[in-house]
A and B are shown apart, each in its own frame.
Chain A
Amino acid sequence: DAGVTQSPTHLIKTRGQQVTLRCSPKSGHDTVSWYQQALGQGPQFIFQYYEEEERQRGNFPDRFSGHQFPNYSSELNVNALLLGDSALYLCASSVGVGRGNTIYFGEGSWLTVV
């Protein structure tokens, strides 16, 4: 049973560019959330997708956008990259959107903006 898979694992982008990160949820999961983990900090919630719609959003600018596909996989897009966007981006999946549902994380995509 595959867990949450993310790609790419590492990438380097130049300030001002755009990036797309991809995520496949754990088998049987229909909800995908994205988190940003800066060095030395805990993960911070970006947004959550369920039934192909953004259901919840954290305190991130609209440079951060996403998409969920019919097969429940998801993409995170970041436009106009800033140096401060350098972080580990985590995808997490769960079943449904209940507050108590256990969330499973992928290994993340390391983004470095230079």
Chain B
Amino acid sequence: AQSVSQHNHHVILSEAASLELGCNYSYGGTVNLFWYVQYPGQHLQLLLKYFSGDPLVKGIKGFEAEFIKSKFSFNLRKPSVQWSDTAEYFCAAPDTGRRALTFGSGTRLQVQP
């Protein structure tokens, strides 16, 4: 079965700092990868997704992620975070044998003004 690991459980940054959140997946077949964000009190929203092609994926709100097949990684990055980026971030990949998403345990990002 697919597994998704997010190594940073809680990250605290100051505004304007750069962000990189790690994500590793286990299944190396056809890969579709997603990053979702959950702002306090809101629903999960899609930040970006990778299906194929350019391994550097641009998403909403200035986020991007790089798919590195050899490392089974899909790290999320943002050059300069804002206070409004405070949220929980989840990496996800389709499960093997099931048409469902397997999520990582999430990274809570806290941006201090």
Contact = CB atoms under 8 A, between A and B. Distances in A.
B66 interface: no
Contacts of A40: 105-106
Contacts of B61: none
A41 interface: yes
Contacts of B4: 42
Contacts of A42: 4, 90, 92, 103-106
Interface residues of A, number: 27
Contacts of B11: none
B59 to A, nearest CB: 12
Interface in A37-82: 40-45, 48, 55-58
B23 to A, nearest CB: 11
Contacts, number: 59
B32 A90 contact: no
Nearest to B1: A59
A107 interface: yes
A33 interface: yes
Contact of B103 (A43, A56, A99, A108): A43
Interface string B84-113: 000000101011001111111110000000
B100 A48 contact: yes
B90 A99 contact: no
Of A35, A42, A48, A99, which is in contact with the most chain B CB atoms at under 10 Å from its CB?
A: A42
B94 A100 contact: yes
24 contacts: A4-B43, A33-B100, A35-B101, A40-B105, A40-B106, A42-B92, A42-B103, A42-B104, A42-B105, A43-B44, A43-B103, A45-B100, A48-B99, A55-B99, A57-B98, A58-B98, A98-B99, A99-B94, A100-B51, A103-B46, A103-B101, A104-B46, A105-B43, A108-B43
Interface of A: 3-4, 33, 35, 40-45, 48, 55-58, 90, 97-100, 102-108
